[in-house]
Structures are given as structure tokens and as C-alpha cells.
Amino acid sequence: MRFLLTTALVLGTLLSYSQNFKEKELKTEIKEVTVFLKGAQIFETGSVVIPQGNTILKVKGLSSFVDEKSVQVKATGDFTILSVNHSLNHVNELKKNEKADSLTKVMEAIDLSIDYENARADVLKEKKSILDENRNLGGQNSGASITQLKQAMDFYEIEVAKIKSEQIKIRRTLEAKNGELVALQQQLKEVNDRPVWPSGEIEIRVAAEAQTNAKFTITYMVGNAGWYPKYDVRVKDIKSPLQLIYKAELFQNTGIDWKNVKLRFSNGSPNQSGMVPTLLPWNLTYARYTHLQPNIYYGLDAVRSVQGRVTAAEDGSALPGASVIVKGTTIGTVTDGGGNYALTLPNGASALTISYIGYRTEDVTINQSKINVAMEADQAQLSEAVVTAGGLSGRANGITLRGYSNRRSLAYKASAVKAEDAQSLATNVIENQTTVEIEVATPYTVKSNGEKLMIDLKKYDIDALYEYYAIPKLDKDAFLMARIINWDQYSLLEGEANLYFEDAFVGRSILDAKSLQDTLSISLGRDRSIVISREKNEQFSKRKVLSGNIQETKGFKIVVRNKKSQAINLTLFDQVPVSIIDDITVTLVELSKAKFDKKTGQVAWDLNIDPQQQKEINLQYEVKYPKNESVLLE
């Protein structure tokens, strides 16, 4: 009985409490955005006059992808914040895609143009009908002279020719415009078939002893946004500093446009777990019960690329704005309007992670250079969305309001928020305790359409050491490498790099900023002015049978020619086999003063070659093994 009485009193208090609240809209604008590698933190500000008593302030029209646990509210004014709650409003869904509105307007203009063309065709048809009815008028009039008849016939011919010519133009115009209309209708169908997401709302309950002016700063994390580090590496010549342009490939598909906002790019990843890993026991068993992952390694020539198209599995339509990232790296991109993507792959890349709103995230093994992905709809996400074709659907996904005592415990007195001064530089690097942020002073507008926006962050002129590397056994070209000492001062991330040498685009590479070396090496691509050949020297390549063994001698001649107008330093690599069996012995015969690593079998020559000169290198080794066995030496 006492429990029932207590419950009734609490419910009565809550009912009375909720009935005393007046509702008012708090209009806010997005002023700042911190973009993480995955996700973004939004900073919104707004002002409102709070009346005396209890008030519910509602911030409406937010993104559907707000992380409710990340919502924070700060304010200035003489009032108390009682509680903050987040919910989704399925009645007031986010505005439709602006592209749909744009397509509709274009189609309406084409329809109007078609109507005009058809009307003109009707006029021409009527005009020709009148001419046909009167072409024998001269013949019916016996008084008409031959001159008059000729004039009438000439007039008829000229007018009919004009009509026919214009009719042909109208027919071709109508064919072209109807073709445009069909293409636009298909685009509009693809846009309208995509889900329309509900809008987010934040409800702030406040109490004021008297009417007061209030300023609010609201921050929250939002999904379906991020950035990928990109670089332009420009080298005028090997005597000049290397110019490194650090860029951000920004995308956002949150459902809300960011208009004239201050951007910051962070190398942090707040969605990644911050828990320290636990080292579990290492249980050793027999090899036949042990499965080891292969250790994939690619050489200098194996910087590969992958491209493809991302579509919806249900109808094959393109998915523009889908995120494509090399798993375990910061190398990624977003698909274009046709769903196409292209990426340069780092050494050891094994899988792509592809994600898109309303579809299940896919991990795809990289096993070829062209990978098309058909994504399956995620019904759990789509149940939250409003699909245009199917009408209003979905379920509420807000936070259940807790009891008065819990909301009361969240109350605090609002305090002032100090504003930051604008930066005078184009960008400013801010080093926090665990992350680095690059702040862009110029405001940007970023539309919610998933399209790429490339933003220059920093430009560095860096002293670099230039060296050429070549492995003619694998690739006959020489690769120019720029070596940067103390590179970690630039706070770089792993990313794709466009390479420009001597004012010409020479290809793409990967800037391996995850390297633990003190010196960062950047491949600047192939130099065709250095010609290399590697041929078997038949004079020294022999096979003999000695008692119970076979002795094979292998010889190679390597020639390097420098066709450039300046001297070069070239490090050239080759190898000899390394025996792991006692019955197989490998003996070096000729190395041409190379450096030799006994453990790996790697042979390296440091060559300095003058302009228009060449050098010849000989590599020769001998392998002895039992004659009843065979080895592969080619």
C-alpha cells in the first residue's frame, strides 16, 4: 500500500512538472566543424529569450546521424539547465535531396520546350495544308498568264521547302529532348528511391527565475562524414627542395549542409575503442593445429591501384558518395556521381572497406585490379528511414525520458563560453595531448551530397636527398626517391600522393607516414632517362656434374646508362639465393665490389654515373647440390 502511494505521488509530481513547461524553439547555426578520419564534431550556436519559469527549448532539423551519447550543451545566462535529451522526428523528415528538386526543374523546362516545339509543328502542318488547298488556284483561273502560274509555283515550292526544313529540325530537336527527358527521369528515380531520413532534435529543459537572454553552444558527433589525407609532391629538379602540399579530401552525407563553417581536420578517431588491449596467454601446440596468416610483401615496383564501381544490389543503380577505404589505413576516397572509384594501394593492402548510408558495410578482399561491389540494403538502418516511394514509415528512436529526480541531477548553472580568436594564417596546426588538428581560417560551405571537396591544408618546402633505386631483376626502370630527414615534425598521415617531376605528372604513389624510420622515403616515380638492362651471361652460365653433385654457375651482366644532362647517384639491387639446407652450397664468384648481406642474399651497388655515360656490372655465383635433386635457379 505504501509503495502504491509513493508511486502515485511520484507520477503526480512528474505530470505536474511536465505540464508546467512551456515549449519554445531554439534556432541555431553550425559555426564550426572538426572533421575526423571517420565522423565529425559539430559546433552549433544560437540565442533565445527564456521566459520566467520552466521551458522546453527544442533544437530542430538536425542530422539523423547524431550520436546521442556525444551531445553537450553549454550556455551563458541566469538560468539552470535541467536536462538534455535527443530524439528522432519521423514526421518532419530532413529536406529532400536538392538534386531531386534540380532535376525536376530541368525536366519541367524540357517539357515546356517540347510543348513549344509541338505547337510550332502544328502551325507548320496547318500552313502546308493551306498551301496545298490553294496550289491549283492558278489553274482554275483561266485568265492567269504563264508568268503568273510560274510565280505561283515558285512561291509554293519555296514555302513548302521552308516548312519541310523546319519540320526536320523540330523532329530532331524533339528526339534529342525526349532522350534527355528519359535520362533525367532515370536519374530522378534513382534519387527518389533512396531513403529519406528523419530529422534529429535536441530538447533542453531549463528553469529561470526571471526572463533572461541566453546564448547556447551545442556540440555533438555525427556520422557519414570524414576526410582522407592526400598529397601533391612536386619536384622541379633534383637540386631544388621538394614541395609537399598536404590536402584533405573531405566528404559529408549527413543530410545537413554546412554553410560558411570554420573547419578543423583532426587525425583522431573518436569512434575507435580507447581501451588498452589485453595480452592473452600464448598457447603453443603442434604446427598441424596452428594456422598462420601469410606475411604479404610487395617490392618497389608493386605499388598497385584498384578501381571499380559501387552499386545497389537490388537494382544495380550507382551509389555516389560511398566511402571506399583500404582496411587498416587512412587511404581512401568516395565514389563519384556514377558510383566509380579509384585508389592507389600501399604495400601489404589486403582488403577494402566500403560503406554507404542504409547499406551493410562490406569488407572486400583485394584480389584483382578491378573490383565492383553490389551493396545489400541494411534493413535495420532502413527501418529508421522514410522511403519516398513507400510513404512515411519507421519507428521512433529517441531517448526515453527518465524520472524527475534523474533529470534534476543533471542540473547545473550555465557559465560563460570563451570565444577563440580567428587565426591570421591560412591554416594553423594545433598539437593536442593525443591528436593533431589543422585549422582552416577561411570558412567553407560543404553540401550534404557525398561529393569530394579537396582542401589545401599546408604547403611545405622541404630539403630532401634525391637518390635513384633500381631492381632490374624485377623491373628495368629506375625509380627516383626523395628522402626526408626528421619528417615527423610535419604531422603527416599515410595517404595517396600525386607525383610531379620537372612540371610533369609522373604518376601516383603512397606516402608511408606510418614508417618508424627516421627518414621518410617518397617514391617520385620512374625516370625513363636512365636505361638499364640485365641479361644472362651465357659465357659464365654453365652446368657440370662432379661425382655425386651438380654444379651450376649463373652469370648476369647489368648495364646502366645515364642519358640525363647531369650526374646521378643510383643504388642498384639484385640477389643471390640463400641456402637453407646443408647439402646445397652457394658460392660467390663475382660481385663487382657490391655490398652483400649474407642473411638475405641481397646485393647492392652504389653507383655514381656521369651524364651520357654508362657502367657495366657483373654478378656471378655458383650453386652445388646433390645430383638426385633439383633446384630452381631461374
Among 99, 423, 441, CA closest to 260: 441
Cβ neighbour number for residue 368 with a 10 Å cutoff: 8
On the question of pLDDT at 13 being above 70, the answer is no
In the predicted model, what is the mean pLDDT of residues 386-392? 36
Return mean pLDDT, the chain. Answer: 78
- Do 211 and 51 touch, CB atoms closer than 8 A? yes
pLDDT score at 93 = 52
Give the distance from CA 421 to its chain's centroid: 31
Among 321, 320, 348, 344, CA closest to 332: 344
Pairwise CA distance, residues 536 & 436, whole Å: 53
In Å, how far are 218, 254, 341, 360, 394 from 379, measured between CA atoms?
31, 19, 25, 9, 11
In the predicted model, what is the mean pLDDT of residues 407-424? 33
pLDDT score at 378 = 77
Q: Kindly indicate the confidence band of residue 550, based on its pLDDT and cuts at 50, 70 and 90.
A: confident
- Do 70 and 42 touch, CB atoms closer than 8 A? no
On the question of pLDDT at 234 being above 50, the answer is yes
Residue located via cell numbers 550556455: 75
Q: What is the pLDDT of residues 613-632, one digit of tens each?
A: 999 999 999 989 888 888 88
Question: Which of 131-135, 360-364, 375-379 shows the lowest per-residue confidence on average (mean pLDDT)?
Answer: 131-135
Fold of 531-626: Immunoglobulin-like (2.60.40)
- Do 455 and 261 touch, CB atoms closer than 8 A? no
Give the distance from CA 358 to its chain's centroid: 18
Given strand 465-471, what is the order of strands in its sheet? 519-527, 475-485, 465-471, 568-575, 602-609, 595-596
Pairwise CA distance, residues 594 & 621, whole Å: 13
Which has the higher per-residue pLDDT, 274 or 390?
274
Q: Kindly indicate the confidence band of residue 182, based on its pLDDT and cuts at 50, 70 and 90.
A: confident
- Nearest 5°: the CA angle 337, 340, 341 is 120
In Å, how far are 117, 267, 299, 518, 548 from 521, measured between CA atoms?
64, 21, 14, 10, 49
Which has the higher per-residue pLDDT, 142 or 108?
108
On the question of pLDDT at 380 being above 70, the answer is no
Highest mean pLDDT out of 300-314, 408-422, 426-440: 300-314
List beta partners, residue 71: none
User: Quick one: residue 372, left, alpha or beta (phi over 0 = left, psi -120 to 50 = alpha)?
Assistant: beta
Bridging pattern class, strands 530-536 and 198-208: unpaired
On the question of pLDDT at 1 being above 60, the answer is no
Residue located via cell numbers 637518390: 467
- Nearest 5°: the CA angle 398, 404, 410 is 75
What number of CA atoms fall less than 13 Å from residue 51's CA on the CB side? 11
Question: Which of 236-245, 401-410, 558-567 shows the lowest per-residue confidence on average (mean pLDDT)?
Answer: 401-410
pLDDT score at 121 = 83
Question: Which of 87-91, 261-265, 622-626 shows the lowest per-residue confidence on average (mean pLDDT)?
Answer: 87-91
In this structure, what are the phi and psi dihedrals at residue 57, rounded to the nearest 5 degrees? Answer: -95, 125
pLDDT score at 178 = 87
pLDDT score at 469 = 93
Cβ neighbour number for residue 137 with a 10 Å cutoff: 11
On the question of pLDDT at 416 being above 70, the answer is no
Residue 29 host element (H or E): strand 29-35
pLDDT score at 605 = 94
Pairwise CA distance, residues 454 & 307, whole Å: 20
In sequence order, which residues have a C-beta less than 8 Å from that of residue 75 and are 6 or more positions away? 81, 214, 215, 216, 217, 414, 417
Residue located via cell numbers 631492381: 471
Give the distance from CA 580 to its chain's centroid: 46
Specify the 3-state DSSP secondary structure of 190: helix
Please give the full DSSP string across 307-358, using - where no structure is assigned: EEEEEETTT--B-TT-EEEETTSS-EEE--TTSEEEEEPPTT--EEEEEETT
In this structure, what are the phi and psi dihedrals at residue 575, rounded to the nearest 5 degrees? Answer: -155, 160
Specify the 3-state DSSP secondary structure of 582: coil
Which has the higher per-residue pLDDT, 526 or 405?
526
Using a pLDDT cut of 70, give the percent of the chain over it. 78
In the predicted model, what is the mean pLDDT of residues 26-38? 92
pLDDT score at 206 = 92
In sequence order, which residues have a C-beta less than 8 Å from that of residue 568 and are 6 or more positions away? 468, 530, 562, 608, 609
User: Quick one: residue 592, left, alpha or beta (phi over 0 = left, psi -120 to 50 = alpha)?
Assistant: left
In the predicted model, what is the mean pLDDT of residues 132-142? 59
User: Quick one: residue 488, left, alpha or beta (phi over 0 = left, psi -120 to 50 = alpha)?
Assistant: alpha
pLDDT score at 270 = 77
Q: Cell numbers at residue 476, please? A: 628495368
- The reported pTM is 0.64
Among 483, 493, 487, CA closest to 522: 483
Q: Kindly indicate the confidence band of residue 285, based on its pLDDT and cuts at 50, 70 and 90.
A: low
- Nearest 5°: the CA angle 296, 301, 306 is 70
Which has the higher per-residue pLDDT, 414 or 508?
508
On the question of pLDDT at 598 being above 70, the answer is yes
In Å, how far are 133, 135, 147, 148, 150 from 143, measured between CA atoms?
19, 16, 11, 10, 14
